[in-house]
Amino acid sequence: MTWLEGGSRNPKPAGQRLRELLARPEILRTPGAHNAMAGLLAKEQGFEAIYISGGGVTSTLGLPDLGIMSLEELCFIVRQIARATDLPLIVDGDVGYGGTLNAMRTVQELEMAGAAAVHIEDQLLPKKCGHLNDKRLVSIDEASAKIAAAKKASSHLVVIARTDAAAVEGLEGAIDRAKAYKAAGADVVFPDGLPTEAEFRRFADEVEGPRMANMTEFGKTPHFTAEQFQDFGYDIVIWPATSMRVVGYALRDLYAHIKAEDGTAGFEDRMLTREESYALIGYHDVEALDESVAKTVVPQHTGHNPEEG
């Protein structure tokens, strides 16, 4: 069934479905998706949850990840991916888009958009990626109040407390803050930017779970597998902005090819075919809902140039 048909949606709230996944013994592998097609491709590969990165989405808007994307811009992407995939979505809520009341509204808007979880961090605006330098933090009391407010606003959304304190106050600071956020009601804790296995293990030993780890590329954390993170004591691992980076890399190659070759001939083996893309988005399933629309016949690609006769 397509999303246009009312009976096709999972009746369980997204947050409940995420909690069921977290109750399983194995770590929840959660790749990032920056738009609905990326989400569908992740689902096609068998992933059961998706992460939406503020940095990844912001980059697709042509903006730096400094907390200047609007809540509605984020919710637009969340609605797209939730509608297309019907999977639980873990969403990067930055600093909650403002103060305590803003955090409450962020939770409400994301629930209505179809999200399963949001993480809120303890930085001041303008915020930075957790793997960059010179981050500034709000007080532990202010951050705890924001987490408590987010939890109060949630009907099913899983509230994840992210702390960026490790690079500012050291690992002890990150541990102290995470414990306070748990006491304030956080369902999951998320220490960002940890640089070593030893620090991941110590954090997990000292802070009750569930715990989330970030396996971003080009950051402070060396490459670990999901299995390794599970051994360290983590329940969720995200690959947050990878989809955006891969697409950007591929598009750069495409545009360079068009510039050099004056067209796309010779690049087709690096594209989804029309059949593949139509199957991915359920083109024929949606088309079949309207009897006035003739079933589309996909042109057969021959590679023949009509100008050659």
Query: Do 61 and 69 form a contact (C-beta atoms < 8 A)?
Result: yes
What's residue 308's pLDDT?
Answer: 42
Q: Distance (Å, rounded) from C-alpha 227 to C-alpha 286?
A: 39
What's residue 162's pLDDT?
Answer: 96
State whether the Cα torsion 134-140-141-147 is positive or negative: positive
- One-letter-per-residue 3-state SS of the chain: CCCCCHHHCCCCCHHHHHHHHHCCCCCEEEEECCCHHHHHHHHHCCCCCEEECHHHHHHHCCCCCCCCCCHHHHHHHHHHHHHHHCCCEEEECCCCCCCHHHHHHHHHHHHHHCCCEEEEECECCCCCCCCCCCCCECCHHHHHHHHHHHHHHCCCCEEEEEECCHHHHHHHHHHHHHHHHHHHCCCEEEECCCCCHHHHHHHHHHCCCCEEEECCCCCCCCCCCHHHHHHHCCCEEEECCHHHHHHHHHHHHHHHHHHHHCCCCCCHHHCCCHHHHHHHHCHHHHHCCCCCCCCCCCCCCCCCCHHHC
User: How does pLDDT run across 173-217, given as a tens digit for each residue?
Assistant: 999 999 999 999 999 999 999 999 999 999 999 999 899 999 999
What's residue 309's pLDDT?
Answer: 39
The answer, yes or no, to whether residue 306 has pLDDT greater than 50, is: no
Q: Which of 201, 207, 205 is nearest to 160 (CA)?
A: 207
Range 104-130 average pLDDT: 90
List, edge to edge, every strand of the sheet that includes 212-214.
28-31, 236-239, 212-214
The answer, yes or no, to whether residue 304 has pLDDT greater than 50, is: no
Question: Mean pLDDT for the chain?
Answer: 92
Range 67-76 average pLDDT: 94
What's residue 6's pLDDT?
Answer: 75
Torsion of CA 241, 163, 158, 110, to 10 degrees: -60
Range 30-39 average pLDDT: 97
Q: Which of 273, 272, 296 is nearest to 283 (CA)?
A: 296
Pick the CATH number of 13-247 from 3.30.70.1450, 3.20.20.60, 3.50.50.60, 3.30.300.30: 3.20.20.60
Chain CA centroid to CA 133, Å: 22
Query: Do 232 and 264 form a contact (C-beta atoms < 8 A)?
Result: no
Domain ranges of the chain: 13-247
Q: Which residues contact 123 (CB under 8 A, 6 or more apart)?
A: 95, 135, 136, 137, 138, 164
Distances (CA, A) of 281 to 275, 276, 296: 10, 9, 14
Structure-token match 């730096």, residue found: 64
What band does 129 get if pLDDT is binned at 50, 70 and 90? low
What's residue 303's pLDDT?
Answer: 58
User: How does pLDDT run across 76-87, given as a tens digit for each residue?
Assistant: 999 999 999 999
What band does 132 get if pLDDT is binned at 50, 70 and 90? low
N residues, the chain:
309
Residue type, 196: T
What's residue 135's pLDDT?
Answer: 74
Range 129-158 average pLDDT: 90
User: How does pLDDT run across 240-253, given as a tens digit for each residue?
Assistant: 999 999 999 999 99
User: How does pLDDT run across 151-184, given as a tens digit for each residue?
Assistant: 999 999 999 999 999 989 999 999 999 999 999 9
Q: Could you tell me the two tokens for 76?
A: 């637009």
Range 260-275 average pLDDT: 96
Q: Could you tell me the two tokens for 201?
A: 């293990």
Residue type, 150: A
Q: Could you tell me the two tokens for 143?
A: 């951050």
